[in-house]
Amino acid sequence: MSFDKAAIGATVLELEKAFNERWSAGDNRGYLDNYAEEISYFDPILKDVIVGRDQVIAHIEALYSNPQIVRSEYLHPVVHVGDGGDFAVLAYNLNTYVLDDGGTERQLRAWNATEAYRLIDGEWRIVHSNWAFAQTATEAVAS
């Protein structure tokens, strides 16, 4: 089987950006509609992993409000494509910005994001999602 790892990486990154831009504009369905049935999801506000599309969607919809993000920075994206060409892991840093009450742009969040995509029935679907705040520890620790 022949496939182009660079093209797969570009496809996965563009999908992720499209889902996130929809989220930023107030439409969370880009991500939610893409999640595979068996998705596992780590949220920075929860201790345990959530497993299953319905459970993940219920969790996100219970918390979601339109963030009105005006700009996103996708920093240091890395995509690892499996040897079979049907699995890819995307990792990147995401900075999001909103407008304050005076109309000045300010950073809302800095994230570390990891998304595992699998090709299912010809579509790249997210099978694992991990969102973490970029800075949570106050000192460097290994464990």
Centroid of chain to Cα 37: 16
Tens digit of pLDDT for each residue in 121-135? 999 999 999 999 997
Comparison of pLDDT for 28 and 127, the residue scoring more: 127
What's residue 69's pLDDT?
95
What's residue 138's pLDDT?
66
Q: Please say if the pLDDT value at position 94 is more than 70.
A: yes
Tens digit of pLDDT for each residue in 45-77? 999 999 999 999 999 999 988 889 999 999 999
Query: Going edge to edge, which strands form the sheet with 87-99?
Result: 50-51, 35-42, 123-133, 105-120, 87-99, 71-81
What's residue 2's pLDDT?
82
Compute the mean pLDDT over every residue in the chain, rounded to the nearest whole number.
Answer: 94
The answer to whether 24 and 67 have CB atoms below 8 angstroms apart is yes
What is the distance in angstroms between the CA of the first residue and the CA of the last residue of the chain? 41
Task: Give the tokens for residue 35.
Answer: 């999640």
Q: Please say if the pLDDT value at position 139 is more than 90.
A: no
Give CA separation, 124 vs 52, 67, 70, 87, 115, in Å.
Answer: 17, 26, 27, 9, 11
Please name which of 29, 20, 50 lies closest in space to residue 113, comparing C-alpha atoms. 20
